[in-house]
Structure 1
Amino acid sequence: MEQNIEKLKFPIGKFHKPEFITKELIQNWIKIIAEFPEKIKNETQNLTEVELEKQYRPNGWTIKQIVHHCADSHINSLVRFKLALTEETPTIKPYFENLWAELSDSKNISIQSSLKILEGLHTRWIHLLESLDENDLEKEFFHPESKEKVSLKTNIGMYAWHCEHHLAHIKIAKGNE
């Protein structure tokens, strides 16, 4: 049972940083991030309120919470990119995503506002990502929870994974009766 729960938690596996991050890999990751708002909209557009309350695993988030979480998470990520681009290895502010997912704006309102946030935010984010040069990609922020410096090129990969990770959660939840 524990192995099954782990598979439901990480249906595409956990993010693994490649030993070498090539320009082609970064371009592929940016493409995944660019396509995410349309993909999540397509996965959720015809769902009823009852269907939006389906979970991808026992004690997991609902589809509605996943959509709102993606907006919250991607807002935080864009801010982290901007901090790293404008400050010398800034320490980022972590947030309690599980607690955010329990707030009223994650549980009790339509997903439309978060879909709009993702559409606008990703337009700006992709523009920023496509403008980064080799030096920019090496810039880092410090994550106080992991006690690690994270380069922007690695963070692009982490967020491409994040997009695919939560799309997989939505697809699993849609299949649950």
Structure 2
Amino acid sequence: MLNLEAYGDKEEVLARLAQSRRALLDRLREAETSWLTTPLREEAWTPLMVAEHVALVEESTARVLRRLRRVAAGEDLPPVPFVPGEFKEGKPQAPEPVRPQGGLSLEEVLALLERTRGLLLEEAEKADPHNPATFPHPFFGELTALGWLRAALYHEEHHLKALG
């Protein structure tokens, strides 16, 4: 099982997120158009869809960080139903809300990545990494704000490796 704590403290996570984002953007910008729009393997997403998915996960993570901050501030928020992650042939499957729709151009994907990273960093800046409030992650269980940031880093690095 993956040990998210190995990803370090908030500052380390944010520094590595900056590195992984630079690498992802470089990979996308330097790629041939045909590679960007070709599935990575049979029944898989295209590289542009992978990048869209990374952005959707970041947007979702930013919303979770905002919720955790509000809970920590004493707001009484309605419960959110927990939906555990699904596996297919031993591999985690993206939950429906973060599955890419596809059809976006490189420019559109780059703009989406920029917008969602901005949201994530804005919420990360406000997040208290020591607050014990948690929210369930579909694959990692109950995570604090720092845990969610670590999961976002793991997620981007995981997909960056898959893109080669």
Q: Is 1:126 matched up with 2:121? A: yes
Partners in 2 of 1:92 and 1:86 — Cα distance? 18
Partners in 1 of 2:159 and 2:129 — Cα distance? 29
Aligned CA distance change for structure 1 residues 16 and 55 (closer, same or farther; 3 Å):
farther
Deviation for aligned residue 1:149: 2.2
Question: What is the root-mean-square deviation of aligned Cα atoms in Å?
Answer: 2.9
Write the mapping of 1:1-177 to structure 2, written as runs, cut at 5 A. Answer: 15-18=2-5, 24-87=8-71, 90-91=79-80, 95-96=95-96, 100-101=99-100, 103=101, 106=102, 108-136=103-131, 138-143=132-137, 145=138, 148-171=141-164
**Match of 1:17, as an amino acid?**
L
Deviation for aligned residue 1:93: 6.8
* Gap regions ≥5 residues in structure 2: 84-94
1:83-118, Cα deviation, whole Å (9 max, x unpaired):
1211368536764168x33x3xx1x22032221122
Partners in 1 of 2:36 and 2:128 — Cα distance? 40
C-alpha contact 1:92 1:141 (8 A) present in aligned 2: no
Deviation for aligned residue 1:134: 4.4
C-alpha contact 2:59 2:120 (8 A) present in aligned 1: no
Partners in 2 of 1:131 and 1:147 — Cα distance? 23
Q: If each structure's helix is expressed as a fraction of its own residues, which one has the higher value? A: 1
C-alpha contact 1:33 1:160 (8 A) present in aligned 2: yes
C-alpha contact 2:39 2:45 (8 A) present in aligned 1: yes
1:40-66, Cα deviation, whole Å (9 max, x unpaired):
211011323311134444432211110
List, as ranges, runs of 4+ consecutive aligned residues in structure 1 with deviation greater than 4 Å. none
Normalization by structure 2: what TM-score?
0.72
* Gap regions ≥5 residues in structure 1: 1-13, 172-177
Q: Secondary structure at the match of 2:135?
A: strand
Partners in 2 of 1:114 and 1:92 — Cα distance? 30
